[in-house]
Each structure stands twice: as C-alpha cells, then as structure tokens.
Structure 1
C-alpha cells in the first residue's frame, strides 16, 4: 500500500510527459498485475514510453536458449549450463503474470533501449527491430588525476572479487583459478588477491591497488563494473568479443582481456600473453581509459538518448 500511496500522492509526475523512460517491464516493487496497470496508465497519459532492455526477461532467456549468441550465463550455444542454479531465474520469467506483463509492455512500448550488445541482439527480432536502439551504459569520466596507468612494473596485481551468491552468473571464480595457475608458475610476475563478498566501499579501495580486475566469464561485453574500473585505467578480464567491437564501430582499441566459458586452453593462452608480455598491461590500461571516454562518457550517452527521444517525438 505504501507504494500505491506514493504513486497516488505524486500522480502529477506521471502525467503529461513527452517521454517516460522505464527501466524494465516491471518498474515498481509490486506484483506484475500492478506493473501492467501502471504501464497502461503511463502509456495513456504520456506521449511516448521507452522500455529499457537491461536484464532478465522471457525474450532474453528464449534468445539464449536458441543460441543467438555463442554463449551466455545460461547456455553455450543451445546447450544449457548451470541448470540448477539458473532454474529459478528462468522459471520466474515463465510465470503467467510475468509473461502477460512482459508481452503487453513489449507490444505497446514506443521504443526499446538496449544498454549492452547482448540485449540488443536478443531483441533484434522482426517485431522489435524498428523500435530497437543501442544506448550504451553511461560512465562519469574521472578527473585526469584519478586515472593511472597500471601494470608498468612487475608483479602484475590481479583482483578476483567473488560474490558467492551470484558467481554462477558471473563466473569470476573460474577465471580466478586460471589466473592463480599462471601466478603459481610466475610468482615474480603475477600476484592474485582473491576476496569474497566484500562491501562495496571496501571493494573500491581494494580495486584502486589492482592492475587487473577479473570480472565476468559469460559476458560478450563490459558492463557497469568493468567500465567503472576501465575508466580509471584498470584492465579488465571479461567480455570483449570482436563482434562487439564491430557492432560499435571500434577499429583500434582492444582494451579487454577477452575470455570465453568452457575453453580453458584459449583462456590460458590469452591470459599468459596479456599478463606476461612486458608492457602489455600498461598498453591496455591506456586503451581502457580511452575506450570508456570514447564510447561511454555520460554526456555523449545522454546526447544519444536525446536524439532517440527527438526522433520519437518528431
């Protein structure tokens, strides 16, 4: 009732807008029936509604199962992985109330804003394509004094931050084991700091000391955690597939140490090259900061949003 009361007492905020940007198909902390009614209200009393494609939904899980991308956190090709761990996520999105709300919002949204290449590809279907836009994650660019070139001296310091409850989605522990293997072979060149479930403020302090951050195994592209680190010059081990660089038109910068699930031999070769080649990490550190500045500066991203909004209203 508190949520409903808050909406009712702020009703004028939700009426008469040119654009309403919604994070997802369920935007208020109530049952899906209420979310569907809320969307109908927003749609009725505002000019245009934009739906964010920023997380789990039925379209995402169906596309992953169909092998739209070579891998994800639920499938390698069309083969399901982490089945028991992912069961609740997928079953929830198949509940009747989730299906009804998601399908209704998707049918009536005026546009879709995909914040990652993956989400864009999952929604790149005939029924959504004319309304689909890639609008990258915005990052506030740090002052130059807060950007440092990492990895100029041995040993290279690698941070493995693991959230135990979500590691089956992120896969950081798997990458961490490979980095530890390299560190055991070359203790003078690579050191690993592995931490578990560290509070965010403490995590940020630890990250400041690292040259390299282990992020996600199952991603094609860098998300918020990676980009925030890269903006400060930290090199990320995670998703940086060539398809993604082609998609955004990036011809030169390759700042991410790209790893892939279920391919330890490939991953070890990539990691050894990056971590053990003199000057490689410092080069990637410079490219990391340049990449975020080029593609994710929040001022640039905000202008991209405005361009989409202007086209919707024209």
Structure 2
C-alpha cells in the first residue's frame, strides 16, 4: 500500500513508518519535525514567525487585521506540493491539528486530502477536543490541565490545549470526524475518553523500534544514576517541578549514592544519548500511560517514573512497580519511591529487565504496524 502520515510527535510516525516499510509498504511522512526534537520527515514544512522580529511582526498583523501569518505560510507550502499528497491508499493524521494551522485553514487543507485520497484515519495523540473536554470535566483523577486548575500556569500558557474546546476548534473536530474512516488511540490517556465513541476503532500501542535502541542489562556497582530530561515549554505540564523538588531532597540525603543528570530541550538524538548511562529516568507526572520518551527509555532497560496508573496495570495485566513506576504529583511520594529504589538496587535490576521485556512484547514496532494495517483495511 501507499501510505501518507501527516504530522509527527515524539517519533511515533517514524517508528510506524519503519515497521510498515519492513512489511513492504511505501510510506511518506509530511510534518514539522516536532520543533527542537528534529525528527526526520520526508516532506518538511517550516514553522516560521516563532522568534525575534518575525514573531513580533506576526502578532502586530494579527492584532490589526486578524490575519494568521503562520497559517498562511503553512497553507502556501502545502499548496506548493499538493501533487505529492494525492492518490494514497491510506492517510493518517497525527491529531486534529496535524497541519498546525487555524481551523479555517486546516479545514481547507483537509478538504484537499479527503477529496484526493481513499481512506483517511485520525490518531488521538497529543491534545484534541475529546481528550481535553474529558480533562476539563475532571473525569481523570489528574491530567495535564492540573497546573492550570491549581493556578501554577495561566490560561494563556495552556492555550495549546484549551483551544480545542473553543467553537472554531470544535467545528474542526466535527468536520474531521464526519470525514474520517475512524480514530485510533495511541495510549490509555486517549483510549479512556474515546471508549464509547462510535468512530473509535481501538488502541494500538505506540510502536517502538527496538532494533535502534540498545538494551544493556543494569548491573549496579557504583552510584545510581538518575536522569531528568526537561522540555522547558512544558515544565509544569509534565510535572517537572515535582521531580526537581524530589531530586533536591534525594541529593541532600543520598549524595554519596546517586549521580543526578538534568538536561533541557535536547534534540532527540542527543536526548537518547544523554540518558544512556542512567539507571532511573524521570519522564512525566500527569499521565495514565507512557509516552514515547518513556517507552524508548524502558526499551533500553531504564526504570522510568511515568504514567503507570491502575487502568494501565489492568489493561496489560501487570503488578504495581514491576515494569514502570507510576509518577504522581506528590513530592513526598516521589522521594519515598526513589529512596526505595536507591536502598534496594536489586529492584532496579529486576524492573529494568521487566521494562525491556514489556516493550518487546507489547510495543514492538512490527506488531504495531500490523495492528494499524488491520484497522485500516477493515474499516
């Protein structure tokens, strides 16, 4: 089959592409490389007006004339390569705002995609109308909106998520759902809000290419290395503040037993290299399931503090603290759990083995690619 993947987050579409190509399919990714992470794409779109004078100029034009220069520039780029976006057997959108334009422009671009391709599917990945509405209604015990609910961040800083509940984005959501064949969730955080939606086709575990990730069994003979990777723009949204406070306490108490590595905004290749020597990786707090960074760290045998809620344990028939550590927005809990691992290094070694085996068994990129193909061809 000839397949077009629109958008890229956290290397998801790249791993899926690798699996699909091994199965004999032709795959093209169009997207933005996910900002500083710089993931590879086949057709690269530029996201201009993001800094300096151009960003200031963009704001002035929008304020005076209500014109979104970013969206117009993206639209112009897409229209220039339209002939490369037609005739696919399957098209998949990474989420409801795959082209990153305002709804009016997004609909115009999607009209072309729907009119010139056979089967278009949507991923529920990142923020979208249904998952954000679910979080706004506080149906999760906690969510990425907690820092906003608790006043740690302003409504403006959460616009990237809250915009999906506005009238224009709700209209975009309705337009997409009217035209797609179905929607596929990438993990439990998106599966749960979609469970009773008539367009929902099911969850496909994030595809992890373990062929590209070296697994080295942990053997602790010296200090325990703890890695904390920060995305500065999502510091509170990922719960990095809780990790930072917990690490301060751990450093004071166990400075002779631990080495702490903290990095900020590293490109993907550098990030993967940076946590190679780590035994423990602190990923994110506000999640029920693991995102890509956590899964790739687990594939390499790291003990990861991430989303590992009871719903996830039940879904995969796992026991608590055997495959991943559920990170909670509670500094004392994080300190106590880190202390438990530091004082019981054998637990680190056993969780490491279990984490790697879990990724091989449940997140293999070839198996995930086959599941996508099955859903695409049945619907």
User: Structure 2-normalised TM-score?
Assistant: 0.72
Question: What is the match of residue 205 of structure 2?
Answer: 136
Find the aligned partners of 2:187 and 2:278 in 1 and give their Cα distance: 25
Which shifted more, 250-259 or 29-38?
Answer: 250-259
2:258 pairs with 1:190: yes
Q: Give 1:148 deviation, angstroms.
A: 0.8
In the alignment, does 2:100 pair up with 1:35?
Answer: no
Q: 1:275 to 1:239 in 2, by over 3 A?
A: farther
Aligned match for 2:346, one of 279, 283, 286: 279
* Residues 1:177 and 2:245 aligned together: yes
Report the CA distance between 1:189 and its aligned residue.
2.5
Q: Aligned ranges for residues 1-314 of structure 1 at < 5 Å?
A: 3-4=74-75, 7-8=78-79, 10-75=81-146, 82-84=152-154, 86-125=157-196, 128-142=197-211, 146-250=214-318, 254-261=322-329, 263-312=330-379
SS at match of 2:139: coil
Please, which moves more after superposition, 112-121 or 157-166?
157-166
* Alignment check: 8 A CA contact 2:177 2:199 kept: no
Q: Give 5+ residue unaligned stretches, structure 2.
A: 1-71
Q: Does the 8 Å CA contact 2:133/2:165 hold for their aligned counterparts?
A: no
Structure-1 separation of matches of 2:114 and 2:316: 31
Task: Give 3-state SS (helix, strand or coil) of 1:52's partner.
Answer: strand
Give the 3-state SS of the residue equivalent to 1:50 in structure 2: strand
How far apart, CA to CA, are the structure 1 residues paired with 2:271 and 2:98?
28
2:183–2:199 Cα contact (<8 Å) kept: no
Q: Secondary structure at the match of 1:290?
A: helix
Contact 1:253 1:287 in 2 (8 A): no
Give distance in 1, aligned partners of 2:263 and 2:100: 32
The Cα of 1:135 is off from its aligned counterpart by: 1.3
| CA deviation after TM superposition for structure 1 residue 91, in Å | 4.2
Per the alignment, do residues 75 and 124 of structure 1 end up closer, same or farther by CA in structure 2, a change over 3 Å counting?
A: farther
| Distance in 1, Cα, partners of 2:130 & 2:165 | 10
Determine if contact 1:65/1:79 at 8 Å carries over to the other structure. no
Name the CA distance, whole Å, in 2 between partners of 1:55 and 1:297.
21
Q: Is the 8 A contact 2:281 2:303 kept in 1?
A: yes
Bigger CA drift: 25-34 or 290-299? Answer: 25-34
Q: C-alpha separation between the residues in 2 aligned to 1:191 and 1:28?
A: 41
| 1:93-136 deviation line (CA, Å, top 9, x unaligned) | 244432221221123321101111101112223xx245331012
Q: 2:311 and 2:107 mapped to 1: Cα distance?
A: 35
How many aligned residue pairs are there? Answer: 307
The farther-off stretch of 179-188 and 108-117 is: 179-188
- Cα distance change, pair 252–196 in 1 and its aligned pair in 2 (3 A): closer
Distance in 1 between the 2:323 and 2:162 partners? 36
- Alpha-carbon deviation of 1:18? 3.1
Per-residue deviation, residues 140-191 of structure 1 (Å, max 9, x unmatched): 11368x2112252242110112232210111123113213313322233222
8 A contact 1:120–1:132 mirrored in 2? no
Corresponding residue SS for 2:211: coil
Change (3 A) 1:201 1:307: closer
Q: Give me the whole-angstrom Cα distance separating, in 1, the residues matched to 2:275 and 2:349.
A: 16
Checking the alignment, whether the CA contact within 8 Å between 1:74 and 1:83 is kept in structure 2 is no
> CA-atom RMSD, angstroms?
2.7
* Unmatched segments (≥5 aa) in structure 1: none
Contact 2:153 2:236 in 1 (8 A): no
- TM-score, length basis structure 1: 0.86
Task: Work out the CA distance in 2 between the residues paired with 1:82 and 1:283.
Answer: 37
Distance 1:183 1:142, change over 3 A: farther
Paired residues of 1:180 and 1:192 also in contact (CA < 8 A): no
